[in-house]
Structures are given as C-alpha cells and as structure tokens.
Structure 1
C-alpha cells in the first residue's frame, strides 16, 4: 500500500530531477553556451524556475506534510528539508521567483562583459535590478524580520548575521596580526616563468583523480570563475588556467574537487532526495578548503607535487621541495579573493560580507558601491585597487543574486580548521600518506564522517559529530599561526 510518505518522496524526486536539469543549464551557460544565446537562456531558466516554484509550493505538499508522522531519522530529515522548501516557496510570489531566475541568468553575461571591459558603470543598472529583486525576496521571507538573515538561510540554514559577525570579529584581529607579522619577514621566492596551459589541464585532471574525483561521474572544464555543479552521479567542475601561474589551475581544481567529492560521496540511497545534496554552503566550503589548504598546501603533499610539476613542466627554477612548499604558501599582496593566500583570504571575505549586508539593508547604494569597496580595501590591505576587475567586479556572486553566500566561505574555513584538528588525531600517519601523493586516508575520513551524510543532519551538527566539539575560530587560527610561523620563522 502506498503511503503519504511514499507519494511525497516520489514527488520530491521529480522535483529534485528538474532542479538538476536547471543546474545543468547553468553549467552549460558558463562553459559551452554560445554568447548570443544569453537572452534565450534567461527565458528558459525563468520558465523552468516557474515550474519548480509551483511544485515546491503545491498544496499537496502541505497536505502530505500534515498527514505524515516520520518513522525514523531519515524520514524526519527528508520532511525537515521539504517543509523548509515548502514554507519558503509559499512566501515568495511565483512571478518574483521567475523574474529573479530570468534576471540573474542575463545579469551573468552583463557582469562578464563589464568585467572584461573594466566598466562598473555598465553593470550597475543590472546589479540595481538584481539587488531590488533580492530585497523583495528577503522581505517576503523575513515577514518583518531581518531580510539578510532570511536570505542567509538559502546557504547556511540556522545561521544568523549576528552570530557570524561575532565569530568573524573574533577571527579578524588574529588574521591581521599574523598578516602584518609575516609580511614584515623575508618572503619566499615567487614562482616565475611560463607554464604550458594544456599541460596544466592534464596535471589538474590527474590531481583531481588523486583526490578521489570519479571522472566516470564528472568532468573538468574551463570557466572564467571556477565552480562545481550537480550532485549524485553527475557532478562537474571547472577550473581556469594562467600561463604564468599554474597554481591557479592546480588549486582551483583541488578546491572544486572538494566540493564535487562531497556530492559524489553522499550515500547513494539518498540520490535525488532532499538528503542527496550537501547540507549547506558552509559545510560544502569546509570540504573544498580542507582539500585545497590543509591537505593540498601541506608540506607533505607539496613535496610530492613538486615532483609532478617537474615531470609536467621540466626545470621551473625551484629545485628544493621545502622551498617549493614555502613558494606554494607565499603570503603576498594581491587583489583577487580566489588567488589569496590562506592568511589573507578571509579578510577578502569579511569585506564582502559587510558590504552586502549594507546593500541589503539599504545603507549602501549600488551607485556608491565601487567607492565603498575601494575605500574598504585600501583600509584593510594598505594599497589601492587599480581596476574594477580587480575590485568590485571580480566576483560573479552578486550578479547572480547570491547575497548571503560570501559569509559561508569564512564559515567553511572555520569548519575546515575544526575538521583538520580532528582528522590529525584520527589519522596519525597522515603526513606519511600525503608525502607519497596519497590523500585517501584524509578523504576517506571526510567521506565517512561528513560527506556520506548529505542532508541528514543540520550543518553545525555535521561538524560537531565529526569533530566531537562545537565549531569555533580557535583551531583555524592555531593552524595558521603554526604553519606560517614556521614558514616565515616568526
């Protein structure tokens, strides 16, 4: 006999399948879609979002939810996700959801062109429209509460701006002090020369497999802004190449593999259910950052990577693996968040977190955003922004309406610091494994303790269960101070 729960889950699987199709359209838009198709793609995505929105707020979903008493933890978690989606969709008018999807699809192309031309003024009217729509959505979701908190739930359920501000406030002084200390010490050598971009892609695909990325269920392509897309058995990543900076390609790939491995390693029983995706962007980012930094930039792993670089590019001017480790982790001035070293990365994120809160709250106008960005950047980093593409235009997030997303990057780093501390205890010979290019001890522990659960637990609970303690900024700061103190001799 078919129960109400069976009917609801069958319906949810169809909704999830349609959402995956929408995601594939987004992947195609960033990789292979012809430029001239942008307006049409916006209409296609808008139409599909209309269908998805209607399904999520269908009255039958409400009736099923009322009729079901969950029989186990898995059912309870599925119902929690479906209820959250139903309540959210019911608060947002269907025409607003469709208009947001259409506008952000087109806005992506406008942003890319403005970025290429270093012309914020050309993007500003489009950003104004995106911001207005997201403010409307935030207000509808908040129902008199804080619109930014309401938007934040899309990316980190249960989090609030106030608690994140407190955590970031505790993190910031230590980061600034460490940054100032290491920048005052002699710097390791920088990587110089030119590196064949085809060889970079070949090496990056090999490293992706080394970190457990299943290429039979994924692929690696190039995009302006690297990203991961999909879940279950179709999880795709992109990276980018620079002829003078192979680290950009290598570490963008490792970062995105962290995201992709999370999705690929979720229990197959959860495929196309609400539990079949990563539980939050903060937890997602913890996987990408621990793969990229605590594992990929470790002294042990970079010793192995040095040999792979020599095989791929020949003599590139750094003969000593220990010197190569210092070069990989070189703290340096720079404008771009995605290219920032571990010490300064979160300072880039905190800038964006503060500015986007002001935008949503109406305390900062789009017309004043570029100046506000440049002023804040110079105050935080000590030198002026030279071009909009190195400043306010560098990230795709606001063009696609991802207000509330940036905070999850630093939250993910905090989670990664906690997971790394627990991982070191659980896998005491980790360095010996990494030194021969074998991160499987670490990735296996992360799979078993974080990734396989998908959406079964709430975000903070996932981290607490894996680590055995509540997440805080302490382990991340301790890790950074120990690592960079040793590299820089301070």
Structure 2
C-alpha cells in the first residue's frame, strides 16, 4: 500500500469512531435517561481520548509527508487531514478529554437551568468551560487572535474582522427594514388557538417528505433544542413542539431537513473521508435556511401548507392562503432566536457574536453575562428580557463549548441569499412545483450544485462556483426588502 492508501485506511476508522461519538450526543439529547448524565460524560470523555490519540498519531505526519495525490480530490483530502492533524497536535490529551467530559455534563445542567429559569445554576459550569476554551484557543492561535482560532473549526478561513465588517454592512439595512415593517399600517394577524402535539408531528413528517427527506436513512425525534445528527447513511433530525405555535415545530423540522439533506446528498464515494461531510457550518446553514425560509416560507409553499394545516386541525384563525402567507412571515420583536423572523434573525446573531468575543477575550466575565445580555437585547430589540429562559439560557451552544459557531448562522443566511438568486434563475418555474407541495426541483438543484461536493471545495469557493458570483450580502438584503415590502405593503 502507498502512504496515501495507509492514510485513507487510518482516516476511515477515525471517521467511523467520530460518527459513533456523534451518535452518543444524539442519544443524550433525545432518548437517554436523565439519570445517565454522569455515565455519558465518562463515555464521551473516553471516546474523545481515543479520537484525540488517533488525530495526533505520529504516523499521520509521516504519511502526509510521503503521500502522493493523483487528483484534486486526493489533494483536498490531504489538505483537510493535515489541517486537523496540526490543530489536534497542539491540544494535549488532557484538555481534549476534559472538554468532552465537561461539555457533556453541562448539557444537562443547562437544560435544568433553562427549565427552572436559574442562570446561577449554569453560570459556574459555563465559567469552567470558558476557561478550557480559552486554553484551547491560546494553544491553537500561536500568539494570534483567540477567537479566530476557534472560528476556524466552524468556518475555515474566516476571521472575526471579516465577519464584523460583514455585520456592519448588513445592520443598517436590516434595522431600517425592521423599523419600516413594525411601523407599517398593515400588520398580519398572529395564529391563535391550540394545536395538539400528534397532529403537529404528523404534519411535520409530511413537510419533511415534501423536501425529499430520506426516511430510510433518517428519523425524527423531539429535543429541547432542535438539531440534526449523522452523515452518510444515517442522518437524523429533531424538532420541538409548542402547542400554541405549530410553526415552531414545522419550520424547525424543515430547517433540520436542510441540514440532514446536505449530509445525505454528499457523493457516496466520499463516505468515511474528510470530504464526506459539510465543508463548514456556514455552508451547512445555507442549506437549512434556504429550505426553511426562501423555499418553506415562500408564497407558493405556504399556500400548499395552509391547506394541509386546514386539513390537520379543526379550525385556523387565519382565513385564507394569502393571509396565512403573511402570518407565517409575521415580524415580531420576540426573544427566541430559533423563532425569529427573517428580518430580525441576523440581529440575534450579531448580539451573540459580540458577547462571545468578549467572553473569550476576557472583556466580559460570566458573572456579568446576564446583565450584559439583557442590556444588549433591550438596546437592539427595544424589549426587556422577561426571564432567563428567553434570554441568556435559550441556546445550548455555549454549554457544549461551541464558541465561534454563532456567526456561521448569519454567514449561512448570506450564502442562502446568493444561492436563492441563482436557484430562481436556474429554475424559473419553481413556484409551480412548490404550490403542489413539491420542493424537489429546488432540492435537486441544491444537491447538484452544493450538497454532493461535501468538503471538496473551500466554503466561499463552493458558493461562488454554485452561483457564478462573488459572495455578497446584497442578494439576501435585496430579497428581504422585496419580500417584506410586499407583505407589509410598504
């Protein structure tokens, strides 16, 4: 066997073990008994120790030096393994194992604190995780920026300076649009009433099928914070149910189908290699957001959904399909990021981006986090946070150590804006299919131009190749202004 063959064979086992670890995480957030938290933390720590040993195995360095790629795919595989090897080699096994243990434990602490509106129960744990993440960032940064070092795990090649500039360019138009919308004479009606769990879940499955979700390689469960998990032949989704708000369940489901479809749509030849997963969280989020918003909240698709809602529930407080379309896209100054409308969603991300940069740099201590969050939310949204579960405790990301993850949500929206414009040009009659509850023309275009490539291209290169244009915030902002200007009769 050649050095490259040895490298691939070794990596195949590492990828399989990583997938097992991911499945343990899925189990913990869905069906694991609550009393098993400490055991699961030890299990996660043990498998992370094995993975860290493999990711830093000295033979990797030897194989990387000797490997001779035959084509662009081989070169990209070598590039990705090399990047991970050099990053992992900077982290001692003690730190990698302790991070796995502490973040596994913290999930349960966070969930209980959120349920009880008790940030004091969670903040000491967050402080411990933050200390470990700062140590990790310092080792990875080699004297450079700590936040950039963490961001590399989620959006390779991006920097906080680039993201800050992007957000500075987006914020004025987003804020101006929000003010126009909230001040408009016409305001869509909310959806009122009670919507039982089982009909919601049945309709969520129908929506997932409309987007081509492969039930032979996936399943749907309930979680506190919806997520997707898995790759290759097993990618699962979760959703949550609020019986006064069926949109929460339906659009969380469609969102996670976007993530899962990305993983299931990757070229099967890439399985168990670094190419066999989404190239970045920004690229991943582009799929979930375009499924959920530009497609799922379109006038054509909501027209179909209105009929399904009418069939599934006794009565709707919204009379017709056009009013339903406006209700689905209603802009309100709510607290919860995952429930935020398209106009305000990115403003939620900007808040978290600034706060977590301050946490990593040490400019903000966890003891002051609740106050800082509430003050910033009031400034940005004009509403005082009513309770911690609607504020600093609403997201699981910091509990599981995902510092540097949040800005990729907004990058995903920007990428989705670019992709949507190209999609509409490529499939001009898309609305005819969406009106029948058939998203397959959009899904097929996205699979061909984005999903099948997996990790073959760098994030921005992937989007630019798919669209034929440089990545820009303009398509997203233009889309938002046109759509909400129409809905709110501006």
Q: Which residue is equivalent to 2:242? A: 242
Q: In the alignment, is residue 291 of structure 1 matched against residue 308 of structure 2?
A: no
Matches within 5 A, 1:88-107: 88-107=87-106
How far is 1:315 from its partner?
2.2
Matches within 5 A, 1:295-444: 295-444=295-444
**Aligned with 1:432: secondary structure?**
helix
Q: Which residue is equivalent to 1:34? A: 33
The RMSD of aligned alpha carbons is: 0.6
Q: Which residue is equivalent to 2:172? A: 173
How far is 1:319 from its partner?
2.6
**Aligned with 2:235: secondary structure?**
strand
Q: Which residue is equivalent to 1:51? A: 50
Q: Which residue is equivalent to 1:20? A: 19
Q: Which residue is equivalent to 1:255? A: 255
**Aligned with 1:397: secondary structure?**
coil
Q: Which residue is equivalent to 1:222? A: 222
How far is 1:431 from its partner?
1.0
**Aligned with 1:237: secondary structure?**
strand
How far is 1:260 from its partner?
0.2
Count of aligned residue pairs for this structure pair: 489
Matches within 5 A, 1:472-483: 472-483=472-483
Distance, in Å, in 2 between the alignment partners of 1:472 and 1:371 is 34
How far is 1:210 from its partner?
1.1
**Aligned with 1:116: secondary structure?**
helix
| 1:320-379 residue CA offsets vs partner (Å, 9 max, x unmatched) | 101000000000121000000000011011000000000001100000010000000000
Stretches of 4+ aligned residues off by more than 3 angstroms: none
Distance, in Å, in 1 between the alignment partners of 2:197 and 2:34 is 23
Distance, in Å, in 1 between the alignment partners of 2:441 and 2:205 is 20
Distance, in Å, in 2 between the alignment partners of 1:459 and 1:316 is 42
TM-score with structure 2 length normalisation?
A: 0.99
Distance, in Å, in 1 between the alignment partners of 2:437 and 2:135 is 49
Distance, in Å, in 2 between the alignment partners of 1:191 and 1:206 is 20
Q: Which residue is equivalent to 2:81? A: 82
Q: In the alignment, is residue 6 of structure 1 matched against residue 9 of structure 2?
A: no
| 1:172-228 residue CA offsets vs partner (Å, 9 max, x unmatched) | 110000001000013101000001110100110111111011010000000000000
How far is 1:279 from its partner?
0.3
Distance, in Å, in 1 between the alignment partners of 2:197 and 2:260 is 23
| 1:64-108 residue CA offsets vs partner (Å, 9 max, x unmatched) | 000012110110111111001100110111100000000000001
How far is 1:318 from its partner?
1.9
Please, which runs of 5 or more residues in structure 1 have no aligned partner?
none
**Aligned with 1:243: secondary structure?**
coil
Q: Which residue is equivalent to 2:196? A: 196
**Aligned with 1:221: secondary structure?**
strand
Distance, in Å, in 2 between the alignment partners of 1:156 and 1:406 is 10
Q: In the alignment, is residue 71 of structure 1 matched against residue 70 of structure 2?
A: yes
Please, which runs of 5 or more residues in structure 2 have no aligned partner?
none
Q: Which residue is equivalent to 2:233? A: 233
Distance, in Å, in 2 between the alignment partners of 1:265 and 1:338 is 25
How far is 1:316 from its partner?
1.2
**Aligned with 2:136: secondary structure?**
helix
**Aligned with 2:230: secondary structure?**
strand
**Aligned with 2:195: secondary structure?**
coil
How far is 1:425 from its partner?
0.4
| 1:88-136 residue CA offsets vs partner (Å, 9 max, x unmatched) | 1101111000000000000010111111110111111100000000000
**Aligned with 1:251: secondary structure?**
helix
Distance, in Å, in 2 between the alignment partners of 1:344 and 1:277 is 30
**Aligned with 1:114: secondary structure?**
helix
